[in-house]
Amino acid sequence: QAGLTQPPSVSKGLRQTATLTCTGNSNNVGNQGAAWLQQHQGHPPKLLSYRNNNRPSGISERFSASRSGNTASLTITGLQPEDEADYYCSAWDSSLSAVVFGGGTKLTVL
Amino acid sequence: QVQLVESGGGVVQPGRSLRLSCAASGFTFSSYALHWVRQAPGKGLEWVAVMSYDGSNKYYADSVKGRFTISRDSSKNTLYLQLNSLRAEDTAVYHCARDLSVVVTATLDYWGQGTLVTVSS
């Protein structure tokens, strides 16, 4: 099953803004949008955003998501050291009847 | 609070079977779809399977279809994953995760810590 496409790594400076992308197709991201997950080493993933820009309770407003066509984006403003983590996008693929994940982006905060 | 606790992992030889369990608490078990997601050492997330809130719908990744079976027991608030004909490439930490909704979406809002399955001779 084809997954979603994410850049393997992104590096930004402290207090800067990072934008992570996730590209799919009309059967997944372009259909129902994407969810975003954050995973720190040795921990399970944590949901950051879903249906493009809904944040679960407790998630900082520094995390915001959007979608344009078949590409979803996660923007993190005011980067902090604790934002250094792996970020994954996910979507339901209606043609595959499956959840598809992106390969993940490793965010480094310099 | 929502808790998902996996168990049943271990070291198993290729071709053998294993059953994983995920004990759920802190929410109405029968009101949510539940997923299994795995992560091979040093790799990304790979979705494995999902079962709808009432068990009427099950979906599997192509890589496990015909070998793995997802099930749930609402009387025990437990999700299961039966792993048969195991291969080396099935080696991973297996997480159970709750879907945000009764219907199957790709929004997994709570995750367990996972249980490690190692397939090796």
Summarised one tens digit per residue, pLDDT across range A49-60 is 998 689 999 999
Q: Is the pLDDT of residue B98 over 80?
A: yes
Contacts of B106 in chain A (CB under 8 A): 32, 34-35, 90-92, 99-100
With CB atoms and an 8 Å threshold, state whether B111 touches A88. no
| Percentage, residues of chain A above pLDDT 70 | 97
Residue of A nearest to B114 (CA): A44
One-letter identity of residue A9? S
Summarised one tens digit per residue, pLDDT across range A20-40 is 999 999 999 999 899 999 999
Contacts of A56 in chain B (CB under 8 A): 109
Q: Are residues B89 and B80 in contact, defined by beta-carbon separation less than 8 angstroms?
A: no
Torsions phi, psi for B120 (to 5 deg): -160, 145
The predicted structure's pLDDT at residue A53: 85
Q: Is the pLDDT of residue B26 over 90?
A: yes
The predicted structure's pLDDT at residue A80: 97
Rounded Cα gap, residues A93 and A102, in angstroms: 12
The helix/strand count (H/E) of chain A reads as: 1, 9
